[in-house]
Amino acid sequence: MLSFAWFYEKIYPRIEPRRIREQRRAIAGKARRAVLEIGVGNGLNLPYYRRSTDITGIDPDRRLLTYAYRRSTDNTRLIPGHAEELPFKDESFDTVVSTFTFCSVRNPCRVATEIRRVLKTEGCFLFMEHVVSGNQVWHSLQRWLQPCWGRLFGGCCLTRKTLDIFKQAGLEIIELQRLSGGLLPIVSGTALKTPFNNYDNPGGDKNGRQKVAYTNFG
C-alpha cells in the first residue's frame, strides 16, 4: 500500500494549485530572522525562504523529513517531534509558519498554545490552512466524507474551526485572505501574539484592539 509520505512527495507537488504554490512563496518571503515551521513535512516551503533566515523545521513523520532534507540548505535545521510539545524555550522565534498542519495535528488547541509560547513578543505567526465550511451543504459533505478522508490523507480533518482555535490561544489575526471555498475552504493570514490578560476577551482590549475571528467560509 502506498504511504501518505510517498503521495505527498511524488504526486502532490505535481497537482498542487498554482495559487497555493504562490502563497507558499509569499508566506516564506515574509518570514524573518529565527523561523520555526511546524509540520514542515517534506519541505515544500523550504526553497522559498530567504537566505538570511535561520530555519528550524519540526515534523513527527521521519519519512517526510527524509524528503525535506533534500530541499534544505545550510541555514536549515530539521528535527523530528510533535508540535504539541515543542522542544524550545519561551520566545525563541521571530516567525512561526504553519501550512496545512492544523488539519492533522492530534491536539490543535495545544499546538496553538505552543506557537504562542515560543513566539517572541514582537513576532508573527504566518499560516495557510483549510477550515470548516460555513455553508450548510458543504459542511454536511465534509462531515460525511471525514472518515474516509482522514484515512486517505494522514488523519486530515475537514471540519476544524482552526481560526477560532488561534483566537482562543491568544493569537490575534490581523490579516486574512480567502484562497478557496467549497469542500476545502483555504485561508491564509498573519497573527500576532496578544498579552496574557487580553486573550480571554473576545471583544478586544482596553484600547479597542479587536480580536478578529473568521469562522465561516463556504
Q: How are beta strands 186-193 and 119-130 bridged, if at all?
A: antiparallel
Domain membership of residue 211 (yes or no) is no
Print the domain residue range for 54.
4-193
Domain membership of residue 210 (yes or no) is no
What's the total number of domains in the chain? 1
Q: How many whole angstroms separate alpha carbon 36 and alpha carbon 50?
A: 13
Cell of 176: 486574512
Give the CATH number of the domain where residue 108 resides. 3.40.50.150
Domain membership of residue 128 (yes or no) is yes
Domain membership of residue 206 (yes or no) is no
Predicted local confidence at residue 196, as pLDDT: 63
Picking from 11-15, 22-26, 91-95, 145-149, which range would have the lowest pLDDT averaged per residue? 11-15
Predicted local confidence at residue 6, as pLDDT: 79
Domain membership of residue 208 (yes or no) is no
- Residue 4 binned pLDDT confidence (cut-offs 50, 70, 90): confident
Q: Which pTM was predicted? A: 0.86
Looking at the predicted structure, is the pLDDT value of residue 140 above 60?
yes
Domain membership of residue 203 (yes or no) is no
Q: pLDDT tens, 187-203?
A: 999 999 987 655 544 43
Domain membership of residue 21 (yes or no) is yes
Q: How many whole angstroms separate alpha carbon 120 and alpha carbon 96?
A: 10
Domain membership of residue 139 (yes or no) is yes
